[in-house]
């Protein structure tokens, strides 16, 4: 199984604490994928995290943000316990759907 963090949108304030384009909300998606018997399966969880006011001493300009930095913000806010529970839930779900089969109906409609 592979895990992928996606950042779908950054909501910003034009000006805050003397800084411009400060990120206040991060829209994220966590995707778990599996290829089994030539078929691809994926499940995901998504959400929004709200960031606290930026610290001018450690502020990164919007155009210099990296995906790694933003994912780290999301992971820090969500916490390891939540992420672990989410990962387990998605692992169970993808295992469940990847082992299901669809059979023809044994009768006519």
DSSP assignment of 17-31 equals TTEEEEEEEEEEEEE
- The residues near 50 (Cβ < 8 Å, ≥ 6 apart) are 24, 25, 77
Return the domain boundaries, the chain.
2-54+61-85
- Return per-residue pLDDT of the chain as tens, 109 residues: 899 999 999 999 999 989 999 999 999 999 999 998 889 999 999 999 999 999 899 999 999 999 999 999 999 999 999 999 999 999 999 999 999 888 899 999 8
pLDDT recorded at residue 96: 93
pLDDT recorded at residue 11: 98
The model's pTM = 0.87
């Amino acid at each position: 199984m592979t895990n992928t963090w996606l950042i779908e949108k950054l909501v910003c304030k034009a000006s805050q604490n003397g800084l411009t384009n400060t990120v206040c909300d991060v829209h994220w998606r966590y995707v778990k994928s599996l290829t089994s018997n030539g078929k691809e399966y994926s499940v995901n969880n998504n959400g929004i995290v709200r960031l606290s006011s930026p610290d001018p001493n450690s502020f990164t300009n919007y155009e210099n943000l990296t995906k790694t930095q933003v994912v780290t913000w999301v992971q820090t806010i969500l916490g390891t316990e939540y992420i672990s529970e989410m990962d387990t839930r998605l692992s169970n779900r993808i295992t469940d759907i990847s082992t299901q089969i669809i059979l023809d109906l044994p009768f006519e409609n």
